[in-house]
Amino acid sequence: MQVVEKNQSKGLHFLVQNARKNCLDVLNVELFLLNINVIADLRDLKMSTVAIKVKVMPEGLDSDLEEIKRNITEKIENEGGKIAGFEEQPIAFGLKALIATFAWLEAKETSIVEEIFKNIPGVSSSDIIDYRRAFG
């Protein structure tokens, strides 16, 4: 009877040791895969850039377009974007819309862009009119 108990005890010890080893292996594999995903995410952040065009309508004729441009530039660049330029588009009766073009990380939400433009003084409304992946 003791021989059977010893063998069962050794078998149980073996199973526990293997389970511990396998758990560590599984944990190491999961950490390895997690690291691969993090590296892939960082590559995406580094390489995936989009070009966005936003049409900005000022509140009125007396809105200072240069001040609006400065605010847009500052806020977009604070969020990691890069302004490519502005274009003024005549609307009617002397009112001009601004078209802001900038580079943005694809991994970042466009809701951040919408919130930036919504909170700029002198801006009545803004719409994303173009969103495309940039190459190069």
Question: What Rg do the C-alpha atoms of the chain give, in angstroms?
Answer: 29
* Per-residue pLDDT tens listing for the chain (136 residues): 344 444 444 554 554 455 555 555 555 544 444 444 544 554 554 558 999 999 999 999 999 999 999 999 999 999 999 999 999 999 999 999 999 999 999 888 899 999 999 999 999 999 999 999 876 5
Q: Is 29 exposed, middle or buried (0-12, 13-18, 19+ CB in 10 A)?
A: exposed
CATH architecture of 49-134: 2-Layer Sandwich (3.30)
Q: What is the pTM of this model?
A: 0.64
What's CA 24's distance to the chain center, in Å? Answer: 33
Domain ranges across the chain: 1-47, 49-134
| C-alpha count within 13 angstroms, C-beta hemisphere, residue 33 | 6
The tens digit of pLDDT for each residue in 81-111 reads: 999 999 999 999 999 999 999 999 988 889 9
